């Protein structure tokens, strides 16, 4: 009987871990963008990402001028697992906002191993979205930034910045991030 319970619990644990590791960056971003006409709240984000993101705190904390909440998630892109040194690894997820009630910025800091170029088309693969480049600043060898205006099905218009910057020391990896702005004003203030 004890063996049966142990095997059952082990199976449930592996199943939960497998589900968490198969989450695509696209799907997580979609869960964090509110439906058209709805507002963002820290609690709705935590509820929508339950089992996908491990949040470090129950509530946001003030960092300089904004409130932030940070978590970790096992993510993939275009049906591939994000890896570090050939093994699945966690991605940092940050939500930022002007108040303790709402957020207006989503940041995914992705480990660099095996990541595609910084174009959304390669990151999201065949998922449904339309994107238009707003601004592109690429300097070969120095990295770059691309700003997009993006429409996801059933969601309000958002603006996404993808950026990559090379490591300055041999033992470091490139930095790669995706920033989702929930308003054009927020994007323009950071360009």
Q: Give the model's pLDDT for residue 24.
A: 83
Structure tokens at 172: 């470091």
Neighbours of 167 (CB within 10 A): 11
- Confidence grade of residue 22 (pLDDT, cut at 50, 70, 90): low
Instruction: For residues 67 and 90, give the distance between their C-alpha atoms in angstroms, rounded to a whole number.
Output: 22
The H or E element spanning position 46 is: helix 42-48
- Give mean pLDDT, residues 98-104: 87
Q: Is residue 156 pLDDT above 80, yes or no?
A: yes
Q: Give the model's pLDDT for residue 31.
A: 92
- Give mean pLDDT, residues 116-128: 75
User: What is the SS3 assignment for 101?
Assistant: coil
pLDDT tens for residues 26-76? 889 999 998 877 878 888 888 889 989 999 988 888 888 789 989 998 887
Instruction: For residues 191 and 184, give the distance between their C-alpha atoms in angstroms, rounded to a whole number.
Output: 11
Instruction: For residues 48 and 43, give the distance between their C-alpha atoms in angstroms, rounded to a whole number.
Output: 9
Instruction: For residues 23 and 133, give the distance between their C-alpha atoms in angstroms, rounded to a whole number.
Output: 26
Q: Give the model's pLDDT for residue 134.
A: 92
Q: Is residue 184 pLDDT above 90, yes or no?
A: no
Most confident of the ranges 79-83, 104-108, 109-113, 165-169: 104-108
- Confidence grade of residue 85 (pLDDT, cut at 50, 70, 90): confident
Structure tokens at 30: 């979609």
Instruction: For residues 98 and 57, give the distance between their C-alpha atoms in angstroms, rounded to a whole number.
Output: 17
Q: Give the model's pLDDT for residue 111.
A: 67
Cα separations in angstroms, 187 against 49, 109, 134: 24, 17, 11
- The ranges assigned to domains in the chain are 2-190
Q: Supply the pTM of this predicted model.
A: 0.79
């Amino acid at each position: 009987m004890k063996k049966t319970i142990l095997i059952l619990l082990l199976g449930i644990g592996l199943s939960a871990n497998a589900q968490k590791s198969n989450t695509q960056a696209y799907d997580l971003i979609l869960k964090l963008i509110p439906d058209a006409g709805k507002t963002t709240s820290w609690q709705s984000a935590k509820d929508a990402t339950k089992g996908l993101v491990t949040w470090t705190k129950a509530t946001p904390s003030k960092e300089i001028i904004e409130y932030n909440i940070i978590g970790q998630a096992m993510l993939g892109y275009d049906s591939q697992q994000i890896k570090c040194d050939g093994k699945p690894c966690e991605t940092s997820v940050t939500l930022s906002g002007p108040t303790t009630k709402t957020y207006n910025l989503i940041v995914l800091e992705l480990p660099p191993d095996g990541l595609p170029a910084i174009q959304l088309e390669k990151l999201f693969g065949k998922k449904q979205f339309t994107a238009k480049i707003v601004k592109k600043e690429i300097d070969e060898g120095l990295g770059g930034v691309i700003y997009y205006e993006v429409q996801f099905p059933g969601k309000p218009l958002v603006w996404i910045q993808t950026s990559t910057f090379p490591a300055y020391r041999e033992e470091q990896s490139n930095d790669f991030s995706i920033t989702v702005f929930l308003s054009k004003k927020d994007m323009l203030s950071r360009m």
